[in-house]
Structure 1
Amino acid sequence: MTAIESFTGDANPYGGGDPYADYRTADFPFTRYADLADRRLGAGVIAANDEFFAERENLLVPGRAEFDPEHFGHKGKIMDGWETRRRRGASAGHPWPTTGDHDWALVRLGAPGVIRGIVVDTAHFRGNYPQAVSVEATSVPGSPSPEELLGGDVKWTTIVPRTAVGGHAANGFEVTAEQRFTHLRINQHPDGGIARLRVYGEVVPDPGWLAVLGTFDVVALENGGRVEDASDLFYSPAANTIRPGRSRKMDDGWETRRRRDQGNDWIRYRLVAQSRIRAIEIDTAYLKGNSAGWASVSVKDGEDGAWREILPRTRLQPDTDHRFVLPEPAVGTHARIDIFPDGGISRLRLFGSLTEQGASGLAARHQELGG
């Protein structure tokens, strides 16, 4: 595992020009996983003890934080993040906050899962970022209220201990807890501002819910599917193809650079578990002059299984939702879509149900992870 670079201290005051010119970041290995705190999955910041300067909801906004040096309001500088007021001590004799003083926000993950890493991004918070952060996690079924989460009977696990962070930087933390979590509590010590929170990990769905559904999308991110690899990520991430809902704009799908050879582009997926696929949906929404020309879909059963084509190379139309019913169900644990020669698709849906082996394996993992 690559060592995670850390950042400490203030960034220089903003000097004009590109506000990201002196932004500090690193290539964190865990960012290959899905963001479990993605608003598009249904994540939300459900409570915070203070949000005087900037709203807690900004933490989960997609995309990087924006900065307008001229934007001020009645309470002060308008920041694109979550920012609390300055803490004070108890008296004139001791005007400083105590070591235990801190601000907090409660985050509901969009999809429960095992967390592999967290990025606490303090972009544009140069002299007003927290001195340190810590993160706790818990697993609570259903839709608990903030009051229920803060009750004394909820067990919280520290997944990021109190750690110094830097201003105007992407502060990354590897997480090693092999547990299924549903909610986070992010703490900033003693106060300050955080621009974005990203929580990378593997979705672990509720097997009971999937069993009731019967037929569902077995490659969908929210159901536990994930992208393992792709031939090209030049314009947009391959994981966009298994996000909830239809694409709303061109970069909400997967698009590759223009090929100048005789090859083709592809994405390889791991399904939620061994599944029996009955129908395929390939959507090219908002991809008009750059959609894939043709596509084929293959599956394999097990890591060492052989790939078997279940949808032969088929012509695709731009900005169109294509649906295919398979003549017979296809059993597999992995899937692959090949597009010819290049271009993009916005979504891939593989509708089916878990096999008996897949259902028992998913139930065992759910129980092992404390679900």
Structure 2
Amino acid sequence: MSSEKKSIIPKFTELNELAGLMNGGQVIFATDDWFASAESMLQNTEPVFIADKYTEFGKWMDGWETRRKRIPGHDWCIVKLGAPCNIKGILVDTAFFTGNYAPRISIQGASLSEYEESLLPHRQGKMGTACSADELQMISKLKTECWPELVEMTSLKPGYEETRKTYISVDSNEVCTYIRVNIYPDGGIARLRVFGTVVPDLSQFDCNDVIDLIAMENGGTCVGYSNAHFGHPRNLIKPNRGVNMGDGWETMRRLDRPAILEADSNGILKVPGCEWAIIKMCCLGYVSEIVVDTCHFKGNFPDSVKIEGTILSPEETLSSAKWVTILANQKLSANKEHFYKNEIHVDGPFSHVRITMSPDGGISRVRLFGQKAH
């Protein structure tokens, strides 16, 4: 593993993010939550700074910040990831932690059995607290300090705009459901992002089970797109409904829009351009129902949507794909879930789907329900 130059955003940031609270991440244990609880480190929003905001424990900070350590050791926490994954990269953001940032970090990971998960202590997660002796004894049974190291001890920089973000590539074949985040010896981190590829246990589903074939938690991955100016298309496959417009896929307004818009006989606008995103499905599968959700997109939803499918072998590239129409152009409306079943032209099997919006705009979520191919 190696730190990337701060001026370069690594390719791994295009993968699914598995630590954010809205992506299913969860803090299970932390040695200390004095100034700010570890849950704040997993917020999906950008960190903020409020100059005159204080609590009874000290300066309010938007992140995880431990007290100045006055006993031997260092602080650490355990994070449950949103899905089992092979981690490819980490982003550590110290935004606004300038004189109080954690100087160093390392990360370990493991996949826990049901029995091991039963040993986890109940998490309180309150500002101004530290773990109890009983909690520390319970977590010690897992020997988390012996988990495989994913990120060796790495220096962090203060949370000024030009130095706040540290990108760390991870070279490991471990499939992790939990990570241990070590800070040395104490201090604060504004945000932690964990990027990787989900490794689901699809053996739990048989060919009669209906599943979301592109859901992040099932192993769906965004592998290409035309535009992500306001929001990345990987948001389309996140769990739950979107919480705001920033929690969806939104493109810029296309500059090739006609000066005066016209519609065809079906009410669909006649425009020359479109935007697209390609999602790799969790497995080869047949599509039986589609949901397109424009939740929160009220003045900027797309006029229409089209969905196509293809089968690609591991050796083939997207440029060689031959696309088949699953769902022909459908008129969309604002802030609404759109359900399609009888409108499906071809059900598959498919390994990848291409979601095309015209001419531009925002979609919150897309669900492709169906069954695994035999």
Aligned to 2:360: 342
The answer to whether the 8 A contact 2:207-2:371 is kept is: no
How far apart, CA to CA, are the structure 2 residues paired with 1:48 and 1:62? Answer: 19
In structure 2, runs of 5+ residues without a counterpart are 122-137, 257-271
Q: Quick check: 1:321 aligned with 2:337?
A: yes
Cα distance in 2 for residues equivalent to 1:240 and 1:119:
18
Q: Secondary structure of the equivalent of 2:67?
A: coil
Distance 1:184 1:72 in 2: 31
What is the alpha-carbon distance in structure 2 between the residues aligned to residue 151 and residue 220 of structure 1?
Answer: 34
Q: Pick the aligned partner of 1:200 from 182, 190, 195.
A: 195
Pick one of 113, 121, 132 that aligns with 1:141: 113
Distance 1:2 1:104 in 2: 21
Change (3 A) 1:285 1:152: closer
Alpha-carbon displacement from aligned partner over 1:24-44 (angstroms, at most 9, x marks no partner)? x65233211111112122211
Query: Residues of 2 paired with 1:248 and 1:164: CA distance?
Result: 34
Q: Does 1:159 align with 2:150?
A: yes
TM-score scaled by length of structure 2 = 0.82
> Where do 1:202-281 residues align within 5 Å?
202-211=197-206, 214-261=209-256, 262-281=272-291
Matched, 1:301 2:311: yes
Change (3 A) 1:112 1:309: same
Give yes or no for contact 1:278–1:330 (8 Å, CA) kept in 2: no
- Tell me the CA shift for residue 212 of structure 1: 8.7
Shift of 1:183: 0.3
Matching residue's letter, 1:264: C
- Of 166, 173, 178, which residue of structure 2 is paired with 1:171? 166
Contact preservation (8 Å) 2:250, 2:363:
yes
Deviation readout 1:23-81 (Å, 9 max, x if unpaired): xx652332111111121222111111111111111110112211112112222211111
CA distance in 2, matches of 1:129, 1:65: 14
Query: Which residue is 1:14 aligned to?
Result: none
Which stretches in structure 1 are left out of the alignment for 5+ residues? 7-24, 90-96, 357-371
State which of 2, 5, 11 in structure 2 corresponds to 1:29: 11
Shift in alpha-carbon separation, 1:157–1:165, aligned structure 2, 3 A: same
Which amino acid in the other structure matches residue 191 of structure 2?
R
Kindly indicate whether the alpha-carbon contact (under 8 Å) linking 1:2 and 1:29 is maintained by their aligned counterparts in 2: no
Contact 2:86–2:176 (CA under 8 A) maintained in structure 1: yes
RMSD over aligned CA atoms reads 2.2
Q: The residue matched to 2:236 in structure 1 has which SS? A: helix
Aligned partner of residue 251 in structure 1, secondary structure: helix
Q: State the alpha-carbon separation in 1 of the partners of residues 212 and 224 from structure 2.
A: 19
SS at match of 2:92: strand
Matches of 2:176 and 2:208, distance apart in 1 = 22
- Contact kept, 8 Å, 1:278 with 1:328, in 2: the verdict is no
Between 206-215 and 344-353, the greater mean CA deviation after superposition? 206-215
Give me the TM-score of the superposition, normalised by structure 1: 0.83
Aligned pair partner of 2:56 in 69, 74, 84: 74
Amino acid at match of 1:119: L
Letter in 2 for 1:146: L
Structure 2 counterpart SS, 1:188: strand
The Cα shift of 1:213 comes to 8.0
Residue 112, structure 1, aligned to residue 84, structure 2: yes
Residue 288 of structure 1: which of 298, 303, 308 is its match? 298
Q: Which residue of 1 aligns with 2:5?
A: 5
CA distance in 2, matches of 1:230, 1:274: 21
Structure 1 Cα separation of the partners of residues 296 and 206 of structure 2: 33
SS of the counterpart of 2:51? coil
% identical equivalent positions: 36
Give SS of 1:239's match.
helix
AA partner of residue 207 (structure 1)? L
Q: 1: distance between equivalents of 2:191 and 2:2?
A: 23
Q: Counterpart amino acid of 2:40? A: N
For the residues of structure 2 that align with 1:307 and 1:314, how far apart are their CA atoms? 17
Which residue does the alignment assign to 2:260?
none
Moved more, 310-319 or 41-50: 310-319
* Shift in Å, 1:203: 1.0
The answer (yes or no) to whether the contact 2:119–2:142 under 8 Å persists in 1 is no
String of CA shifts for 1:77-131, please: whole Å, max 9, x gaps.
1111111111236xxxxxxx5xxx2111110001110101111211111111222
CA separation of 1:152 and 1:259: change in aligned 2, threshold 3 A: closer
Q: Note if contact 2:207-2:372 (Cα within 8 Å) is conserved in structure 1.
A: no
> Deviation per CA, 1:283-323, whole angstroms, max 9, x where unpaired?
22222222111111100011454211111112222222221
